[in-house]
Amino acid sequence: MWVAAGLQLLGALPVLALRPSGKAARGGGFAVQDRAKLGRLILSTAFVGLGAGATIPFLNIYIEGRFGVSYASLGTLFAWTSLATAATVLIQPLLVRRLGQLGAVLAVQIASLPFLVMLGFAPYLWMVTLALFTRGALMNASGPVYAAYAMTILEESDRTMYSALNSIVWNLSWALSSLLSGLVRGSGWLSFSAAFDVLFGWTLLMYLASTLAIYFCVYLPDKRGELRPPPQGEGPGLG
């Protein structure tokens, strides 16, 4: 615990060196210039949070309970999963160059779905392990690319609000789904395996909904040029 606290303090040191740029975003308070665009961008986050919260916080319980894996082995397993995620981040620039930002996001999310199915329903530990590495790496790789895209299409004054609302929506949806997951597993109506079958099915459904939300609410409108901000100097009441 003390080691973790010390590392967090060390991580905060670079932040203390930051200085204001002198540029202030237009607007203030909780004003939002484009609520519709903000809603389009955040919708997929809500779906992912609702899906992930049902299973991801409980993967250690799931793997230990289903395959009898020791806690020491679980620690090693999740450590390698984190390393796989870090390695996947290195291919983000290549994907963005080839597919564009939204194309890369959609590609990795679609590619992660079969591994989510494998994670929840495969009968062998080695298959679940492979799925755990790959699914986590792919889904975590899409987040920074999507956030970077959002910053390019939002008005400068809406970017802070997007970051705040995106975090709030993620945490609320994750918490709600985790609560419901606990109720499903603790109800006694379903066996251990059946309860996780239901929860992984729910997660898969929500991840698919997130991918469709990005495609229909962001990707297609972006292709039509509907989401790009107006050039500087243009806007409501100008020109």
Whether residue 238 is predicted with pLDDT greater than 50 in this model: the reply is no
101 vs 237 pLDDT, higher one? 101
Closest CA to 112 of 94, 85, 137: 137
pLDDT given for residue 9 in this prediction: 47
Please name the residue that has the structure tokens 């993967």. 59
Report field, pTM of the whole predicted structure over 0.75: yes
Tell me how far apart the alpha carbons of residues 214 and 211 are, in angstroms, rounded to a whole number.
5
- To the nearest 10°, the Cα dihedral for 214, 218, 219, 224? 160
**Taking a C-beta distance cutoff of 8 angstroms, is the pair 11, 134 a contact?**
no
Q: Which of 101, 92, 109 is nearest to 211 (CA)?
A: 109
**Could you read off the pLDDT of 2-11 as tens digits, one per residue?**
444 444 445 4
Set out the domains of the chain in order of their start, with CATH numbers: 58-223 (1.20.1250.20)
Under the banding of pLDDT at 50, 70 and 90, the label for residue 26 is low
**Tens of pLDDT, residues 76-94:** 888 888 887 777 777 788 8
| Spatial distance between the Cα atoms of 173 and 183, rounded to a whole number of angstroms | 15
* pLDDT, average across residues 223-233: 73
Span 55-67, mean pLDDT?
94
